[in-house]
Structures are given as structure tokens and as C-alpha cells.
A and B are shown apart, each in its own frame.
Chain A
């Protein structure tokens, strides 16, 4: 079996700060995703990537950048953290058959 590792588990930032979240997978999956999970709002897609160096915007891409320099890793950058922002960012990967494997998440708090 494989695993998806997200780092860090917890991230505390300051308003206006640029923050980077990392995700590694050893499934050898082609497609990777970043979702944002807010309480009461379900999961919303920020970015996804179908192969190395590919990036596709999701519904919530504004305010974020992403990078897929290797097949196994997919990073997400919050370009300017918003005050009092609190959310969980979930990374996932798949072979493209719609079954997603998720990481445990990075919990972001902005002071």
C-alpha cells in the first residue's frame, strides 16, 4: 500500500505571510489534488495536476499557487494569508479513476 504525507500537520502564520504546504505520495499516481475543507462548507478544489509540471485551477484557486516539480510531490502556497483564516488543507492523489487517496491534512491558523 501507499501513503500520502502532508507537512506540516499544523501551520500558524501571520496576516500577509506567504505560506507553503507540502504533499508527498508514494502510490506512483499521476494525478494529485489540493482541497480546502472549511467547517460547514465541505471540500473545495483549489488546484490539481494530472502529471509532472502540469497545473489545473479548481474552483478556489485565487489566492493560491501550486507547484508539481516531481510526480511524487505537489506543493501549495498561500500567497497572502488572511487574518483569522482557519481551514484544513487536504492533499489527495489518484490514478484517474476517480478513487482518491487523501492525506491527513494540514491545519492552518492565521493570527
Chain B
């Protein structure tokens, strides 16, 4: 069965600190993996995506994620967070070519303290 687990429901960090949001996936086929972000009172937006190739993918606003097949993980990182990064972050799994069948994690709420 396909699934996505975000083990941390809430993460609090200080502004300027580094960040890692964890994501573990389970997939029987080749996974496509995404991170989406939901800012307060806004729609979800794509941060980055991984299809194949270099396991480290760069996204918007200084975010990056690293795909690990051996660990079944796709953790999101940022070297130095800003207060405006406070949002809910979703790790998402899609099976190859199976449009519409996206599997969302439960989300991690990030709070950045000044």
C-alpha cells in the first residue's frame, strides 16, 4: 500500500535556525514526491518536486529536499528560516503517471519564532 508519514505534527524553530521537516513514504512503484506549502489564508503551493536523477532537489525560497530510496524518505531542509516561512507543509506522493491519485501526508505545522 502507498502511504506518506510526516512524523512531526508541529515544529517550532527560531528565526535564522536551520530546518528539517521529515517525510517517509511507502510505495510499490516508482514514486514521484512533492512538498507543498499552505500559508495562512492561502491555497497550497508547490515548493519542489522529485521525479528522478539528482536526489537533492532545489525549490523556491531556499528550500531543498533529499530523496533517499534506501530510507524511503524525502526530507525537506532550509539552511536559515524566516518568520514568513511559518506555514503548514505537506509531503505528497504520486505514483508514476497516475494523475489524481496523490497521497498527502497529514502535514507539519512550522512555527518560526522571532
> Quick one: given A90-B44, A103-B43, are A31 and B100 in contact (CB under 8 Å)?
yes
Closest partner residue, chain B, to A41 (CB atom)? B106
B residues contacting A by CB (< 8 A) are 9, 32, 34, 36, 41-46, 49, 90, 94, 99-102, 104-107
A65 and B23 CA atoms in complex are apart in Å by 33
Query: Number of A interface residues, CB 8 Å?
Result: 26
Minimum distance in angstroms from A41 CB to a CB of chain B: 7
Complex alpha-carbon distance, A31 and B9, angstroms: 30
Given the complex, which residues of A lie within 8 Å of B102, measured CB to CB? 45, 98, 100
Q: Which residue of chain A is the closest to B100 with respect to CB atoms?
A: A48
A residues near B42, Cβ cutoff 8 Å: 104
> Measured between alpha carbons, how far is A99 from B59 in the docked complex, in Å?
13
Asked whether any CB of chain B lies closer than 8 Å to the CB of A33, the reply is yes
CB pair A42 B99 closer than 8 Å:
no
| Chain A residues within 8 Å of B36, by CB | 100
